[in-house]
Amino acid sequence: IQNEISNIENRLREGDEAEIAAGPDVDVVNRLNRSKNRLEYIEEQLRSYGGNSDPRLAAEASQLKQVVAELEKELRQRRQGQGQTGNLPGRQKQQSIDASMTAEAKRIAKDMEKERWEDMLKGLEESQQEAAIYTRYKEAVKQEIRELRGTLQAMQAKKKERVWLRNKDAGDLDERRLVDGLTGDKNVYKRRGERPPDPYASQQAPKRLTFLFDVSSSMSSYSMDGRMERSLEAATMVMESFSGFDHKFRYKFRGHSGSTDDLVFVQEPKYPTSEQQRLNVLRAMNLHSETCASGDHTLDATKIAIKEITKEDADEYFVVLLSDANIAQYGIEPRDLQALLDMDERVNVFILFIGTMGRQAELLRSELPNDKVFVTLDTSDIPKVLKRVFLSSILKQA
């Protein structure tokens, strides 16, 4: 424990020194350092594989090199435009800048961040990758996809309930029609069958689901424990499992990080249909985590998702928040998460902790409803949790 505390103190001290040296460009410098550290780790992994390198790691290394080049270019441009200004330490400079920013300036900064992200996405789409990369993700969760599709299929079948069809000329005698039989009516039998469609009934609204993925910097900084892989595999599982159920389910992928509370990866009607499109979704999620600013927008992003999903008519609403539980340092307490669960009685909100720092995820879960909050540190647990999520509400009305 003492060694761990000492390591944390050293990292904090190094971070403060780097922040002071970076000045007002600390955000870009932090992203650049994280990307370089991750690239160094990936390249070391690739060297250990020798000639049999993992195509996913190779693709990520190529992507990180582009990110590093873009961030270095951005940093040079910023410093050329700013010159050497002021004598305040970096932290004080940044606080002074933040305090003086008007609402209009913040809006402009947000728009610039959005434009930067759209440019990065455009470059991502133009960079085609081997089909084998996505196949590896899909193969890793093929059993989980089968389980989840089975759950969705069962929900479909539940709607086609078998009932007694009356007024038939053969089958079991319908006790309600005994008098009619005595008067000569032949259609006094009943038999089991599927309920015929009502031509006057309006089509039932789809069930709407928003998956709110954690794409914060901690997802990539601490990815050695597999949290980012679990997140990307979960995204693969959902995209593959919901394919073909568009008429009954509408889903959306949103993201939250230190840079934004309003990031969309997948939404109707532009669902990714090809493996290349689905791979681009995964790469976009990973890219944002590698390049976003530190910080947290978990609460704001979830509130936006809850408010937005109810704007469209639906049979039921679901918001599934995925987080690595690295939120206590930003002042987020269990009562804040409980407020999200209770925010709108129309919306079924669930929280999946797919990563943890020590026992942080378990401690948070222990103070929240165990049928609403889950710790899933193994990808194979996710479809089981999602099945419980759906069964908790959907099937009781199916």
DSSP assignment of 97-127 equals HHHH--HHHHHHHHHHHHHHHHHHHHHHHHS
CA gap 370, 373 in Å, rounded: 5
Question: What pLDDT, on the 0 to 100 scale, is given for residue 171?
Answer: 81
pLDDT at 337 (0 to 100): 93
CA-CA-CA-CA torsion sign (312, 314, 316, 319)? negative
Report the alpha-carbon distance of residue 274 to residue 330 in Å, rounded: 38
- pLDDT for 318: 93
Q: How far apart are CA 185 and CA 140, in angstroms?
A: 62
Per-10-residue mean pLDDT of the chain, 398 residues long, equals 57 52 61 76 73 65 77 74 47 46 59 66 55 83 88 62 74 77 75 61 74 90 82 91 88 92 89 90 89 88 95 90 86 92 93 83 89 84 78 52
Instruction: Set out the domains of the chain in order of their start, with CATH numbers.
Output: 2-99 (no CATH), 135-152+206-397 (3.40.50.410), 161-194 (no CATH)
The pLDDT tens digits of the residues spanning 73-89 come to 777 777 666 554 444 44
State if pTM tops 0.85.
Answer: no
DSSP state of 173: E
Per-residue pLDDT, 251: 94
Query: Residue 327 belongs to what H/E stretch?
Result: none
Nearest residue to 292 via CA among 284, 281, 280, 300: 284
